[in-house]
Amino acid sequence: MLFLLFSVICLAGVALATPVATKRDVDLSTLSFISINSSLPKIALYSTGGTIISALSYGPLDNINYGGAPGPTPAQFVNNNSEVLNLAQIGVLSFPAPGGSAGINSSLFLNVSQYANKQLCAEGSDLVGAVVFHGTNTMIETAIGLDLTVNCSKPVIFAAAMRPDTYISPDGRSNFYQAVAAAVSPLSRDRGAMIAMNDRLTSVYYSTKTNANTPDTFKALEQGFLGNFLGGQPHYYFGASQPTGKHWFDTSNITDLPPVTILYGHQGVDAKLLYNAVENGAKGLVLIGPGPGALAPAVNAAAANLTAQGIPIVDAMRPVSGVSVPPPVPGAIIYSGYFDAEHARVQLQLAIGSGYSYDRIREVFEADLRSAIYSGHNKVVYGL
């Protein structure tokens, strides 16, 4: 009976998970457009920096210790790759990210998201899409933040690079062209945020960085690529769709996101770290459990104690792919499903920042999997 009640609540939560049109005034005043043809479609380029506009410090073969030399500005990068101006008019807006993407915090994606909702998604906007420059080290965190908060069908395409712009064979220029081609394509609508890199298109929702150094790094290992680029143009393998169970958050009234800490599970992990994180200000925790999210008994006990004090705790799997599956009967800990810790942390921030109750947060993470696993014949199998 408890599970049946929870299932009904989950289904209700899912029904509320789709974007709801919000009245916003168009504000393009901050965009400075670069154009050679005023009849071409317009896109926004939101630049947070990254390797794509970085320069080498030690010579044309150094793809490791670069970044000390001044690289091009976003506008200079556009003009240096002027082929893109045959595709679109590009409105540039830069967001300072000192220290590279490793130094970025969640206020950046919140800021970019709010600009995108006012400029890209506002009623009457003539922007057809957006491209985002970002350093690859933490790009997924910003990207999933936008994927869960940009409230319209228009594409948001992340373009990045693993080699700096002055390298002997940079990858960023091709990635940028292809991202613009995807942003202006009507076939890119209703797919959520995507990454255009290495001649591939990947869903942000399922992607992760799989290699620290090579251009062929962002992949959805289980779900696969959405499409590729042929002759510089996007070719999608499937029709437009959104990920199953995806939740959308309204950030129009959020001014700051609460701190959420990720803790890594290993043999002999110290459960006191959970308490230390909360004492240091964490409003939620994401635990990386070995395998599909297995936690040591002491960690389980600490998590149960903290959840009783109102601290939401999400358990994610440690391997690079797989699923953290919730048990038949809900307990203290929330399970991340297909989200790895990076994705789960951002979604938990948004849920807490939106004022969601603990049960509502559980719905956001678990409802789809619970409906899929613990229904039909499995109700008998699991004694539900």
Contact 48, 98 (CB under 8 A): no
Contact 133, 48 (CB under 8 A): yes
Superfamily of domain 32-236: L-asparaginase, N-terminal domain (3.40.50.1170)
**pLDDT value of position 14:** 39
Q: For residue 150, how many C-alpha atoms fall within 13 Å in the half-sphere facing its CB?
A: 32
Q: Which tokens in the block code for residue 361?
A: 């947060």
Contact 383, 351 (CB under 8 A): no
CA distances from 80 to 43, 84, 196, 241 (A): 18, 10, 19, 35
Amino acid (one-letter) located at 244: T
Domain 2-17+252-381: assigned CATH number: 3.40.50.40
**pLDDT value of position 13:** 40
Q: What is the DSSP string of 330-343?
A: --SSEE-BT--HHH
How far is it, in rounded angstroms, from Cα 269 to Cα 383?
33
Residues in the chain predicted with pLDDT less than 50, given as ranges, are: 1-16
For residue 272, what is the enclosing H or E element?
A: helix 272-279
Question: Which of 22, 30, 48, 51 is labelled catalytic?
Answer: 51
Q: For residue 283, how many C-alpha atoms fall within 13 Å in the half-sphere facing its CB?
A: 16
**pLDDT value of position 18:** 55
**pLDDT value of position 256:** 92
**pLDDT value of position 23:** 64
Contact 110, 254 (CB under 8 A): yes
Instruction: Provide the percentage of residues in the chain whose pLDDT is more than 70.
Output: 94
Angle at 28 (CA atoms; ends 22, 30), nearest 5 degrees: 125
Q: Domain ranges for the chain, please list them.
A: 2-17+252-381, 32-236
Among 208, 201, 198, 195, smallest CA distance to 227 is for 201
**261 counts as catalytic:** no
Is 2-17+252-381's fold the same as 32-236's? yes
| 3-state SS assignment for residue 261 | strand
Q: Tell me how crowded residue 359 is: count the other CB atoms within 10 A of its CB.
A: 13
DSSP percent split of the chain into helix, strand, coil, nearest 5: 30, 20, 50
pTM of the model: 0.92
User: Distance between alpha carbon 27 and the CA centroid of its chain, in Å?
Assistant: 24
Spatial neighbors of 20 by CB under 8 A, at least 6 apart, are: 151, 248, 250
